[in-house]
Each structure stands twice: as C-alpha cells, then as structure tokens.
Amino acid sequence: MSEFRALCDKYVKALSSNVGTVGEVSSLLEHTAGSDQEKKTCLDVAFRKALLNKVMSSDQVVRNYIELSFQSSKAGYCSPNTPYYVLADVFDCLTLDRCQEIFSYVEEKSELFASEVPANRNVVLRLCNDLIRRCSKSINTLFCGRIQIMLAKIFPISERSGLNLQSQFNLENITEYNTSSENTETPMETDSKEVTFLFYQTLWSIQDYFRNPNQISNDAHWKKMEDTVNEICRIFENYKHEGSCPVANEEAYFAKFLTSERLLTLQISDSNFRRHILVQILTLFQYLTGDVKFKPNKLVLSEPRKFWIRDTTNKIYSILSDTPPEGDKFVQHIKSILKYEEKWSKWKNEGCPSLSKAPDKTLQAKQKNLKRTVKAMDLSSDKFDLCNQTLTDLWNICPDNLAACQNSDRKFTPETFKFFEDAIEQLEPDSGVEKEYYLTNETAFVWRSLRLLARQSVPYFQHIQNTKNLTLTDNLQNIIMLIGKEYKKETGTENEMK
C-alpha cells in the first residue's frame, strides 16, 4: 500500500507541474516500476487528485487538463471512465460563472459522449442535472437551455429515462397569493371598477388547475374552473387592445410572475401577461379533450362540457388575435405548437416506438433484381478469390478453417470484472439509474452472466443454488455487487477513492 501511495504521489506531482501531453504521460509511465495494471490504477487516482492543483488556474489550463485525461484514456494509459469523473469533479469545484465558460468544452465533445457506453453517459447526465439544479430559473436561463440542448444531442429522443411516460404533474409547483377575504369587492387602483380584489383571487386561483388538472374530474372543481375561465376571458377582452409595445429583438422570459395584488393592474395592461395566462388555459383544454393514456377514467367530458371548451377556445383565439403585437401571427404559432403536442402525446400513448424511417421497399426491390456477375473460383489454386480484396484477405489468413477455429487466440471469454463493469456502475447508490433500466433485467444479459460464472467463478454460481429463496435477478445483483467490492479491495482503489 505504501508503494501504491508513493507512486500515486509521484504521478500527482508530475501532472500538477510538467506533464501536459500524452507523450509525456507515456514517458512518465515508462520510467516507473510496476505492472501495467498498477500504473493504470495509480494514474486514475492521480488524475483526480492533481485536479485540485489545476482547478484554480485559467480556463484554458483546465480545458487542456481535461483533454489530457481524454487523450490518455484513448491511448490506454488510464481507465475509460477516468476522464468522465475528472470532468464531473471540475464542475463540482468551479463557480457557476466559470462552469458556463468550461461547458463549451462539453458541447464540443457531444458527438463523443453520444457514442459512449451507458455508464459514461450517465456520468455526463448527472453532471448536467447537478448544473441545472445550481442554476437560477430566472437568471441562468440561457445556460440551462445550453445544457438541455447538449443532453438532447447525447441521448436519443426516444430515451425513456427522459420521458414523462405516465403523464405525472409537478404537484409541488404551488402558486402563492393573498387569499384574505377582506374587501373583496373594493376596486383596485385602476380606472376599471371590474378589477377588484375578488378578480385578483379568481385570476391566480386558476393556477391550481394548471398544476393538477386531474382534480377537475370533481363536479365542484369543474364548476369553479368554468366560472374562473369565463371571468378571466371577460376581463381580458376589455384589455385586448392594450400593451401595444413594439416587437423587441431580445427574447423575453418570465420564470414565474409575481402575485402581489398591487401589481395586478400593471400586469393586466401587459400583453405578455395576458398571453401567458390564456395560453395556459389552451394547454389545459388540450389535456382535457386529448387522448392521454394515463388520464383518469373519471376525467371523461360530457357533450355540454366539450361544447363549452370549443366555444371558449374560439373566444381565446379571438382575444389573442386582437392582442398586440402581431396577434394573428402569435395565434398561428400557438396552434402549430399545440398540434405538434398532440403528435407527441400520440407517440407516447403508442409506447414510444422508434422514430427511424422504414426502409424504402421500392429501392429494396430494385436492388434485389440487380444481376451480379460472379467470378468463377479457381479450385486448383490454394488461394480463394471472393471478388473483394478485403474479404479475400480475411478468408485466406488461414487456409485450414478447422485449425483456425482451434486457435487459442479465438477464445473470446471476457474477464469477470470487465463483463460486469457496467452493471456494477449501475448498481452504485449514486449512479442515478432507475431499477427498471438495470442490465440485470435483460434476459440475454442474465443468461450470459450465468454462463460466465459457471465457467470462471464456480463459487458464485453455487451461491445462486444455495439461496433459492431469492429471485434470479436479486441473486445476480448481489453477486455483481460482491464482485465489485472484491475487485476494489484487491486493486486498492476503494480506499484511495475515499
């Protein structure tokens, strides 16, 4: 253990000072004693420790250090997952302002991340989710958008872990406003006598139905929602020509409107505020009338309620068309967005099938009918010509096929830890992978695991037979976690990582 620590300290010192290229890393490894596995393990630990000496340097130095870890991993000098942990450590150590500068490096690597194994992509996913949690929803909106776009490039659109498959709502998104019942009929500071404190309560009470539409299945809630929407439309119709400000080039963003009663008269005079509320109502109507797989059975609308929604929807579109600026264009955009939303809802109802295009049957038929000229083989020659240089070279590597099959180099049985490396990563408590996506839930993976354990790790295979009270999946998960712990104990990485 002392030799391991000494070697790690040597690598940390070198990475912190004079080692900055892959060639220098190679030279450093050549001039130290020990097996290749010991050097690789030490370099894995050293990369993460030396980061503490680099992180306070300039952004370019940090970017170069991260790139060095990726290049070293590509050359085989350190483990494939080491640069991803280095990348995660960098963002854990930096302030949010510096994270925005360094994140451009992550965006440049998006194609590499998309082709990586799930374990490494999950590290990037946790990194991005941690950054989003640190960001302010009203200040760091652009940075949050960059993170979401980068995740969309890495993970396919059909990635189930990023989909709200069961149509769950964020019930914690509660809008707080003044619910005092005093002076509800008193007009507020405005020329219109209709804008009272009662309307203030009515306006903000609709947010509770946006938060949880399923409660509308109750007749009392439906009646309240209907009266609230009618009142909002009536008041907004009197203000539809106000707020005719010029179209700004800069994008406006409202994380959440303030709910003080003193601001209501100013908010109603703002066309963006009125549009915000009316579009929310349109979205609610689409959920109520749309075909959503996990919508409660009680939320089935009668014909009078459907007629009221259609009539109110047309009224809202009329108000939005008369609302400046460019009301007609805004309505067209909203209709287009809601139409696309119906298609996504239908796609989720069908179980999120693959979005890849089916092959062109006409093109396949043409290719099938193409006549190929096959060159006759010269059976008198020891070399077979397959009319393709690459195939010919592969076929003639070994003239005797039976001898080639018996070659010891054709044994492809993997090492036990290497085979279970991804599964061990998924079973870690902080991996962030949901149980339903574990590899141990795949029948093919379980079958291959049992074969591997029977060939290379008989005691583990016998352990399954001795614990018949557990399911096969639970037994396999326990064995995989035990293999991971024993590997870390043997290599000494567990204590070093702590």
List C-alpha distances in Å: 245 to 286, 326, 422: 30, 10, 56
Model pLDDT, residue 368: 64
The verdict on residue 272 lying in a domain is: yes
Q: For residues 426 and 374, state if they share a domain.
A: no
Residues 59 and 201 in one domain: no
Instruction: Report yes or no on 184 lying in a domain.
Output: no
Dihedral angle sign, alpha carbons of residues 53, 59, 64, 68: positive
Q: Which pair of structure tokens corresponds to residue 36? A: 């290749």
Number of domains in the chain: 4
Average pLDDT over residues 359-388: 62
Per-residue pLDDT, 334: 94
State residue 346's pLDDT score: 86
* More confident call, 454 vs 158: 454
Domain boundary pick from 357, 376, 410: 410
- pLDDT of residue 2 exceeding 80, the answer is no
Contacts of 463 (CB under 8 A, 6+ apart): 475, 479
Tell me, yes or no, whether 172 lies in a domain.
Answer: no
Residue that wins the pLDDT comparison between 378 and 128: 128
Same-domain status, 239 and 344: yes
**Number of residues that this document lists for the chain:** 498
Q: What's residue 369's pLDDT?
A: 63
Quote the percentage of the chain above a pLDDT of 90. 27
pLDDT, the chain, mean: 82
Q: Does residue 406 form part of some domain?
A: yes
| Domain co-membership, 374 together with 291 | no
Whether 470 has a pLDDT exceeding 80, the answer reads no
**Which of the four pLDDT bands, split at 50, 70 and 90, describes residue 494?**
very low
Distances, alpha carbon 148 to alpha carbons 136, 152, 301, 362, in Å: 14, 6, 36, 39
Q: Is residue 191 part of a domain?
A: no
What's the pLDDT at 183? Answer: 56
State which of 106-120, 316-330, 368-382 shows the largest mean pLDDT: 316-330
Q: Residue by residue, what is the 3-state secondary structure of the chain?
A: CHHHHHHHHHHHHHHHCCCCCHHHHHHHHHCCCCCHHHHHHHHHHHHHHHHHHHCCCCHHHHHHHHHHHHHHHHCCCCCCCHHHHHHHHHHHHCCHHHHHHHHHHHHHCHHHHHCCCHHHHHHHHHHHHHHHHHCCCCCCHHHHHHHHHHHHHHCCCCCHHHCCCCCCCCCCCCCCCCCCCCCCCCECCCCCCCCEHHHHHHHHHCHHHHHCHHHHHCHHHHHHHHHHHHHHHHHHHHCCCCCCCCCCCCCCCCCCCCCCHHHHHHHHCCHHHHHHHHHHHHHHHHHHHCCCCCCCCCCCCCHHHHHHHHHHHHHHHHHHHCCCCCHHHHHHHHHHHHHHHHHHHHHHHCCCCCCCCCCCHHHHHHHHHCCCCCCCCCCCCCCCCCCCHHHHHHHCCCCCHHHHHCCHHHCCCCCHHHHHHHHHHHHCCCCCCCHHHCHHHCHHHHHHHHHHHHHHCHHHHHHHHHCCCCCHHHHHHHHHHHHHHHHHHHHCHHHHHC
Q: Do 397 and 420 sit in the same domain of this protein? A: no
Domain finish residue from 161, 180, 205: 161
Q: Give me Rg for the CA atoms of the chain.
A: 32
pLDDT band at 246 (very low <50, low <70, confident <90, very high): low
Residue 176 has pLDDT above 70, yes or no: yes
- 231 and 155 in a common domain: no
Residues 101 and 249 in one domain: no
In 3D, which of 238, 239, 230, 330 has the Cα closest to residue 279? 330
Q: Both 369 and 447 in a single domain?
A: no
Q: What is the pLDDT of residue 245?
A: 53
Mean per-residue pLDDT for 397-401?
72
Question: 458 and 441 in one domain?
Answer: yes
**The pLDDT of residue 84:** 92
Task: For Cα atoms 447, 448, 454, give the angle at the middle one, nearest 5 degrees.
Answer: 90
Burial profile 120-141: b = 16 or more Cβ within 10 angstroms, e = fewer:
bbbbbbbbbeebeeebeeeebe
- pLDDT at position 338 is 93
Residues 145 and 143: their CA atoms lie apart, in Å, by 5
Whether 179 maps to a domain, the answer reads no
Is 320 part of a structural domain of the chain? Answer: yes
Quote the pTM value: 0.57
- Report whether pLDDT(289) > 80: yes
Q: Are residues 10 and 94 in the same domain?
A: yes
Residue range(s) defining the domain that contains residue 273? 197-349
% of the chain surpassing 70 pLDDT:
84
**CB 144, CB 135: distance < 8 Å:** yes
Confidence bin at 413 (pLDDT 50/70/90): confident
Least confidently predicted of 141-145, 246-250, 412-416? 246-250
Same domain (yes/no): 466, 404: no
Q: Across residues 284-292, what is the average pLDDT?
A: 90
Q: Which of 302, 323, 349 marks a domain boundary?
A: 349
Does some domain include residue 373? yes
Residues 152 and 227 in one domain: no
